[in-house]
Structure 1
């Protein structure tokens, strides 16, 4: 029997040399013999192959390869449309083409093999065929792949076979990332194939999804940015040298350089259009520069984002351009005066766009309007955020409960994973106050364990440099620690490992790859990291589906920066010092924090406290404010282990800080009394009735979820009360009494 190597040598010879039908027929017959399809010359395969070769023989070209190119361009589209096929049978007309492809006599285009079912042909290939070996390797990796269903993984293996045929390679490591972009449209199978190729080592990286494979825009140089932005030719050199100097001296943040190039492009396009006699930057006059102000204001209205958001007419885009232009001329005048400066001769002789020029154009008023909008947005978010958080938590708990009943259903697994990440992303941003780019770069290595001199352990979260190039650490509290622990637990479950795996990540903001690390935000739809677009999309979906709305009734589309604003306002509400909030948020100045401080002016706080004091006196009388006596303190000291809260007993020692603010339902430190079960049942009936009313009136999903969670807490506390036997209940209630706390202090002891 002819070896596989000899068959491929014969096929390459028949394809590349002068067209010879006898040589091609011999190669086809040799392959059919190995495939055991040549038992009779009257088989459908043989007849279709002869018919296909007859058509190819009639086409122009010196070699089979040249004639095949004509066949793909002219004949194959006609056959696909049902015109003059070699066989009338629908399942046999393409067998000849498939035979030539699998025999490697031709190297097909994707349009030819895209519809082939490769698993049928793989069964007839010998064990030593490269295609068969590659498929066996991928099938072995498929068993431990964490992405997709078995059917989708089988489809991905077929896709790999087709790509190997299209590329003309015999090994999986012959495929590269660009090969996954050959099909005009992607799909889930290509993401799974990407993961499989990375798993077997064919691609020396971690998996990427379709968007990240396609969006690999390189980091452009300063001169390329100038060209792309459209700076007119007479001023392009000046802007390019300026951006190079700025990147070298001040900051090479890619987004900053890109924004500056666009702003300067708008300015110099205005100069070229309205003052065509100006041929260099040094010839621009202050009067000409001031004319850019109304032009920029009008232009900004036409280039605003199409996505609707609150306050679309109050954006400060035009003023950002003006500041970039003003900064450009200020830097240009300074740097051009230095000896040997490459900017020498480019600077104008007068000051361009002084500060009062921008103020007169309404810059201060625009900033005030923007801050007023921030204030309004934060107040709306504070009202709606509890409902959004309840909606996210409720969806995750429901998905967990459903998955527990059928843990093998891949759709339920995907639903649980998606709802978990919706909750985790929201809580992580709300409890950390991080920027979106800082959140995406978090790794398990950024969770730092420290100890005080007393031996007490505490944890810090290291935040990598972002906006101002400065790293910082923030303390990990109970809420943030819970979210981080849940994320790590889910990642270990997703990968079925004891650790969070190291993966590649590309910083799309800076257009550069980041070091491989155990990133926390990965594993949503595959073994890949999250993108900023994904995070924004999930948060926006959550708020819209929770029914969150502004005061005017317009829907709230939550953004990552909204969570950061809420973090700042909540800490101000909790009387955290402003300079501490500045350090937590990583703000450059304390003025940024003070924007949120204006939400809580001193007069408003003082008046509120005065009103609450009056209400307290009405309820408790003046005796509620008296200074405790020695006897009062002595009696208080006897309650240092248990606190009787009326319907329940708190095991948190008296005087110790309560992290829940004494909101006891659902707290692990609480044991409800059996004698208060009737009270809890009345509460359950009242809340259940309110939930039914909410559903009848079609309240937003977030509000309904909050009511459902409250009912769950009440049911849980009733169950905890009923689990106590009589003896244990009496012992606990007795222990809550002052005399029971210290038996040695009781009379007669």
Structure 2
């Protein structure tokens, strides 16, 4: 079944950097242009050029510079070559890393060698490899290189980097990256190509290091006019795009050319009716699991008309995975092969000249696919059982997300106001603002650690960011029942309003076309509006607008247009739309943190699609007609909705109710009589008596007040926001009484008053939560307006 309705085709990149895992590690490239002339510059001219590098050319500075330059040039002249670059390569130092140069040098002499080599690098006379640069600490050389080579362009790059609201270290890291590329390649910045960035990434990964700043460097270079005719982001440049039918089939080697061609033509015909993801699966099942398997086990086979023994052997093999485990999806392979044969048979009657030669008896009979329905029912049963397991623990997950976000927000606020090394207390736990491991790695990061218990430090900003998007994802998923791709496609434009005939304004959430290729609109309750409003306030930029971003659809392998996506956050020094895998990781991490387990102690985890099933179950169980639920979920068939709803069949419920009714006939009639006037009056008075000074008592009917009207201590009290001043008066009076009891040494009174103050603090927190919920609701209405 198709997952998406979009079938847009995009051209395939002629060279995909993502596929260059086995590419060679690049070394210095041959010199070209002026660099070639520089590499052969005589010694006396190099000395004159080196003087221009000094900002303060005093006699002593000139003497030191000339001494360092003379030492390294004398050493390089020991190797027979025409250029300084060739002498450097002959010395073998390029492969020695920090151990380069003559051996047995003193620290002072080695320092002069390093200074002299740095001068040659800045003058573009010697160009070491990436491996050598990664192993050398030449940050000062990088600064000098930028001042004396394309200084105006490097300055513009710095301005672009700082204008991205990135931290200083991120901008410097990106500039150092581009500087290394310029040193190694000998190219001007505006002459860089995508292949140069790919070579850098390969060399960086070969040393076991990350290339997190590469996308940031790509974007600022593109912003100043580099990487001509390339997309604005590295991810777009490296995206593989959608493969053609021929490329999809050729990923699986097929010996017989004629069969390969018919598979390509068949996939091309099916591409008009299938989305790209389904097309990829179809090509893999036919070209690899079907015909590829036949060629591997029956060399020389060249006809679709399979002998019965060959077909039977293949059907047995496809039921088992290469590692010996049973293949649970083998029915899908059977259906794909059966469709292939039946389509060819039908097309042979419509266009015999093209397809008749390939019409053959289908090796998959109806009996072979009969088990598909059974497997489908088993899968639905497993999903329904999973939903019934997760529904009771969903409130626990929601509370865990709210508590984590509340704690992370407090930690972030405290960390921002704390100085380095300072301790602070959050919710009875002490934390310490810690420093960084090295001077040039994220100096602005807010790292904190627990002061009471030893443990790893963590980034307060990163923790708050993860906590917020975990909470936001859970709230939107459970209140809308959207698919994960629909969630990530929500934009600021998705929020709409509807003016009802009564004059009431109803907020609506517009869901973009996805699996069924049909757009739908669902009403948004006040809680959902408050969540969306909070998201919008968070992601708005300095211009009070939601930034426009391109979202990459990993299933369709296409980039969407720039839109104000709601689920966006900084990642790798720039804004990006959150990926589906990131949402899954956040949900899994929260379930582990919260310790959510089944009745037998098995850890439980939530996936985005679990919330869709829970939503459908709760809406139908809550009385919503199933055809309305199908509209909200975007299902075209009511049977699909029924499969999502983890409830008992209607016949079972009806018969059980009949059983209960029959059982009542054997029970005392007194249990089922009409209530008397006195009993009814008592029932109504119960709700009137629940009204107290501070709010409303939520104790259930038929239960007396267990706290002797000491409402401030009662957990059943729901405070009225208008009564907050009265609560503060009670707190002030209690503190006065506590002070008197402590002076008079009334220890029993002291313990009771302290207990009352503890409960008063809890009630004040309840007031804050109620006020925050009220503010979010009002802000949501304003955001929608």
CA offsets 1:368-426 (integer angstroms, 9 cap, x no match) = 32222112211111122111111111110111122233436743333222210111112
CA distance in structure 2 between the partners assigned to 1:60 and 1:572 by the alignment: 85
The alpha-carbon deviation at position 527 of structure 1 amounts to 0.8
Match of 2:265 in 1: 241
Which of 75, 78, 93 is equivalent to 1:75? 93
1:138/1:624 CA distance change after superposition, 3 Å: farther
Conserved? CA contact 1:440–1:531, under 8 Å: yes
Aligned: 1:257 with 2:269: no
Closer/same/farther in 2, CA of residues 453 and 94 from structure 1, 3 Å limit: same
In structure 1, what is the equivalent of residue 314 of structure 2?
292
Name 2:240's counterpart in structure 1. 217
Check the 8 A contact 1:118/1:161 in 2, yes or no: no
**Aligned residue pairs, count:** 635
Say whether residues 1:319 and 2:339 are aligned partners: no
Check if 1:352 corresponds to 2:363.
Answer: yes
TM-score computed with the length of structure 1 as normaliser: 0.73
1:335 and 2:335 matched:
no
**2:252 equivalent among 229, 250, 264:** 229
- For structure 2, the residue ranges without an aligned partner over 5 or more in a row are 1-30, 418-444, 447-458, 698-714, 731-758, 771-785
The superposition leaves residues 66-88 of structure 1 with CA deviations (integer Å, 9 ceiling, x where unpaired) of: 555555xx222235235625953
Query: Structure 1 residue 161 and structure 2 residue 184: aligned?
Result: no
1:644-693 deviation line (CA, Å, top 9, x unaligned): 75356579xxxxxxxxxxx9977988868979999xxxxxxxxxxxxxxx
Structure 1 residues 515-535: Cα deviation after superposition (integer angstroms, max 9, x where no partner): 111112211434112122212
1:27 to 35, 46, 50: 46
* Cα deviation, residue 243, structure 1: 0.2
Aligned residue in 1 for 2:493: 445
The answer to whether the aligner puts 1:716 opposite 2:736 as a matched pair is: no
Q: Which SS does the other structure have where 2:156 is aligned?
A: helix
Query: Given the two structures, how large is their TM-score scaled by the length of structure 2?
Result: 0.70
Q: Secondary structure at the match of 2:331?
A: helix
User: Which residues of 2 match residues 469-488 of structure 1 at below 5 A?
Assistant: 469-488=517-536
SS of the residue corresponding to residue 345 of structure 1 reads helix
1:371 paired to 2:380: yes
CA deviation map 1:162-188 (0-9, x unaligned): 2333343444x5455554441423344
The reply on whether 1:280 has 2:300 as its aligned counterpart is no
Is the contact made by 1:290 and 1:357 (CA closer than 8 Å) also made in structure 2? Answer: no
Counterpart of 1:150 in structure 2 is: 168
Q: Secondary structure at the match of 1:591?
A: helix
Moved more, 221-230 or 101-110: 101-110
Q: Matches of 2:318 and 2:761 in 1, distance apart?
A: 56
Distance (Å, rounded) in 2 between the aligned partners of 1:140 and 1:609:
77
Distance 1:496 1:187, change over 3 A: farther
User: Which of 1 and 2 has higher RCO (CA within 8 Å, sep 6+)?
Assistant: 2
Preserved CA contact (<8 Å) 1:118 1:158: no
Partner of 1:732: none
**2: CA distance between counterparts of 1:711 and 1:611?**
47
Matches of 1:114 and 1:367, distance apart in 2: 55
Q: 1:646 aligns with which of 655, 674, 691?
A: 691
- Distance in 2, matches of 1:438 and 1:625, equals 54
Q: Choose which of 436, 442, 445 in structure 1 pairs with 2:484.
A: 436
- SS, match of residue 562 in structure 2: strand
Maintained 8 Å contact 2:146/2:179: no
- Please state if 1:592 is matched with 2:640: yes
CA RMSD between the two structures? 4.4
Secondary structure in 2 matching 1:298: coil
Structure 1 portions without partners, runs of 5+: 1-10, 305-312, 637-641, 652-662, 679-709, 722-749
Check the 8 A contact 2:565/2:577 in 1, yes or no.
yes
- 1:84 aligns to what SS in structure 2? coil
**Structure 1, 552-561 or 194-203: larger mean CA deviation:** 194-203
Shift of 1:29: 2.6
Distance 1:462 1:61 in 2: 70
CA distance, structure 2, for counterparts of residue 668 and residue 70 of structure 1: 84
> Superposed, which structure 2 residues align to 1:633-712 within 5 Å?
645-647=690-692, 649=695
107-116 or 590-599, larger mean C-alpha shift: 107-116
How far does residue 486 in structure 1 lie from its aligned partner after superposition?
1.6
Q: Work out which of the residue numbers 622, 625, 630 in structure 2 matches 1:577.
A: 625
Correspondence for 2:140: 120
Query: 1:247, CA displacement in angstroms?
Result: 0.6
Shift, 1:246, TM fit: 0.4
- For residues 26 and 222 of structure 1, the distance between their equivalents in structure 2, rounded to whole angstroms, comes to 60
Superposed displacement of residue 365, structure 1: 3.3
Residues 460 and 476 of structure 1 are in contact (CA less than 8 Å); yes or no, is this contact kept in structure 2?
yes
Q: Distance in 1 between matches of 2:279 and 2:366?
A: 22
- Distance in 1 between the 2:345 and 2:760 partners? 68
Equivalent residue, structure 2, for 1:699: none
Distance 1:405 1:41 in 2: 48
Q: How does 1:456-535 map to 2 (within 5 A)?
A: 456-492=504-540, 495-525=541-571, 526-535=574-583
Give the secondary-structure state (helix, strand or coil) at the position aligned to 1:278: coil
In structure 2, the partner of 1:707 is: none
CA distance in 1, matches of 2:611, 2:231: 30
Deviations 1:148-172 (A, max 9, x none): x43343333333322333343444x
Secondary structure class of the residue paired with 2:552: strand
